[in-house]
Amino acid sequence: MHRRTFLTRTLTGAALAAVPLTTVLSSQASAAEKRVTSLGALQQAINAAAPGDRIVLADGTYTVPAGSALTVSGKNGTTSAPITIVSATRGGAVLQGERGFVFSDSSDIVVSGFAFRQSTTLEIPESCSRIRLTRNDFRFAEVSGLYWVVVRADDTKIDRNHFHHKATAGIFVVLDGPTGSTALAQRLHLFKNHFSDHSFTGTNGGEPIRLGVSGRALSSAHALVESNLFERCDGDPETISVKSSDNTVRHNTIRDSRGGIVLRHGNRSTVDGNYLLAGGEGVRIYGNDHLVVNNYLSGLSGRALVIGSGTTRDHHAGETTDERRGNDACDRAVIAHNTLLHNAGTLSGEDREHEPRGVVVADNLLVGNVGSLVAMGRTSGFTWQSNLLWGGAVDGTIPSGGYTRADPLLRQASDGVFRLSPGSPAIGAATLTGPVVGEDIDGHSRGTTRDIGADEYTTLTPLRRPLTPADVGPNAS
C-alpha cells in the first residue's frame, strides 16, 4: 500500500503555484472527469479512458513499486479531445520510484502538472504520436549517464516544464528515432521550458537538449526549439546540441551558462533571434546551408561565433563511425544581422584540414575592446559585406571591403539589452538582399530599409525580450 503525503510545493524547495490543472486545460473538450487518490485507481482510470477524458490525481507523494509502472498502452485520444492525465495542482502529485509513465501504441495523450522524481528514462517510443508533456517539474534521481526524457515518436510536444538540478553526466531531453533506423522523430516542439542548474563538470555528455545523434545526422527532424530559458547549464559546452538536419532554434535565452548553441552535425538548420548572455560559449556552426540571423551574444567568456572547419568536407552515407563523429566543415552558411558585444572572442575560425567555404557574413555588428574582432583561419569563397565594427579590439582578419568602422551609438535599455539609438550609422546600412530576414530580435518588422545588427531601430516597445523565469516553466502563460 502506498504512502501519500500532501505537499504544497515540489521537492526542490521552490514553490509552484497551486493552480488547479482543470483550470489550465479547461478549453479542452472533456467527456468525463475522473478523480483518483491512489496509483491503482489511476491505472484503472487510464485503462478505461476514452477521447476527451480527464483523469485527476490527488496531490501527494506516490512511490511506483520497483518493476512496475503507470502504463499508457493502446490509448488514443483525438487532436481535439486528447486523454488528459493531470495532477490536482501543479507539482502537487509527486511520482517517485524506478519508473513513472510508460507509453506504447498511444496517441493524443497529455500529461500535466506532475513532479517527476524517477530513476530511469521517461521514453516516448516510436509506436506513439502526439504525446504532450506540459507544466511538469522534472528532477530525476542522480544517476550518472541518465537521459531524462527521450523522444522517438513524431509530433511530441514538451512545453512549460522545469528541468533542473543534475550534477552527473546525462541529458535532460534527447531527440532520437526508431531503433535500428537512421530516421529521426519528426516535428518535436520544445517551447517555454525552463532548464537550469546542470552542474556536471566533465567535458562532454551534459547537454540540456540534444537533437539527434551522429549516426542520424543526415536525417531531417524538423524540430522546433523556441522560447526556452537556460540558466546555469554548465554540464557541457553545448547547451543546445544539434546533430540532425532541418531544425529551427529560435527566441531562446541562454544566461550564465557554460554552453552555447552548436550545430554539431547536420545541414540546413536555422538559428534565429536567440540571446546568449554572460556565459561561456556562443554559437558554433558545422555542416552546410545553415541560416544564423538576429542573435545577440554578449559578455561571453569564450568564443562568441565560430565558423567551424572540418576533419571532413561533408558527411555522407557510408562513412565510418569515426568519420561521422568528426567535424563537417561549414559550407554555404548565411550569417547576418547578429550583434556580438564585448565577448572574449568575437568571430573566429578553426584550423582543421578542411576550411569553411562559401559562407556569407553580412550586416553583423561586432563590438569589443580586447583581442581581434575577427580571427578566422583559412577560408574559401567567403562573402564579407556591410559589417559594422567598433571598440578597442583590432579588426583582425576581416577583408577591408567587408566592413565599416564607426561608433554604433548603442544605448542600454531597462532589460539590459544594448539597442541602436537615433543617428546610429547602423540604421539603414544593411545591404544583403537574400535570404529575407523579415523581423529583428525584438519581433519588429525590418521593412525594406534594414539596419545592421540584431536590432532594427524603432521607438516601439519590443515584442520579445530576454526571457526570465516568469516567462517559462509550469506557471507560464
What pLDDT sits at residue 10? 36
Q: Which three cell numbers stand for residue 430?
A: 544593411
Give how far the C-alpha of residue 258 lies from the chain's centroid of Cα atoms, to the nearest Å.
Answer: 15
> Which of 146, 143, 148 lies closest to 163 in space, CA to CA?
148
Q: Where are the domains of the chain?
A: 142-471
User: Residue holding cell 522523430?
Assistant: 185
pLDDT tens per residue across all 477 residues of the chain: 333 332 333 333 344 444 555 444 444 444 699 999 999 999 999 999 999 999 999 999 999 999 999 999 999 999 999 999 999 999 999 999 999 999 999 999 999 999 999 999 999 999 999 999 999 999 999 999 999 999 999 999 999 999 999 999 999 999 999 988 999 999 999 999 999 999 999 889 999 999 999 999 999 999 999 999 999 999 999 999 999 999 999 999 999 999 999 999 999 999 999 999 999 999 999 999 999 999 999 999 999 999 999 999 999 888 888 888 899 999 999 999 999 999 999 999 999 999 999 999 999 999 999 999 999 999 999 999 999 999 999 999 999 999 999 999 999 999 999 999 999 999 999 999 989 999 999 999 999 999 999 999 999 999 999 999 999 999 999
End-to-end CA distance of the chain: 37
Task: Please state, in angstroms and as integers, the Cα–Cα distance from residue 475 to each residue in 242, 361, 456, 469, 472, following that order.
Answer: 28, 40, 31, 9, 7
CATH number, span 142-471? 2.160.20.10
Q: Which three cell numbers stand for residue 125?
A: 517510443
470/477 Cα distance (integer angstroms): 9
425/390 Cα distance (integer angstroms): 11
Tell me if the pTM is above 0.75. Answer: yes
Task: Please state, in angstroms and as integers, the Cα–Cα distance from residue 305 to each residue in 201, 216, 348, 406, following that order.
Answer: 23, 25, 6, 21
Q: Torsion-angle region of residue 97: left (phi > 0), alpha (psi -120 to 50) or beta?
A: left
Q: Torsion-angle region of residue 264: left (phi > 0), alpha (psi -120 to 50) or beta?
A: alpha
354/285 Cα distance (integer angstroms): 14
Residue 210 · residue 177 · CB < 8 Å: no
167/109 Cα distance (integer angstroms): 31
User: Residue holding cell 467527456?
Assistant: 31
What pLDDT sits at residue 317? 87
Residue 35 · residue 56 · CB < 8 Å: yes
What pLDDT sits at residue 321? 81
∠ CA(332), CA(334), CA(337), 5° rounding?
165
Largest Cα span, the chain: 76
Residue 420, CB half-sphere, CA atoms under 13 Å: how many? 28
Q: What is the DSSP string of 262-305?
A: EEEE-SS-EEES-EEESSS--EEE-SBS-EEES-EEES-SSEEE
In 10 A of CB 394, how many CB atoms? 14
Residue 341 · residue 295 · CB < 8 Å: no
Which residues does residue 123 pair with via DSSP β-bridges, in sequence order?
Answer: 150
Residue 350 · residue 379 · CB < 8 Å: no
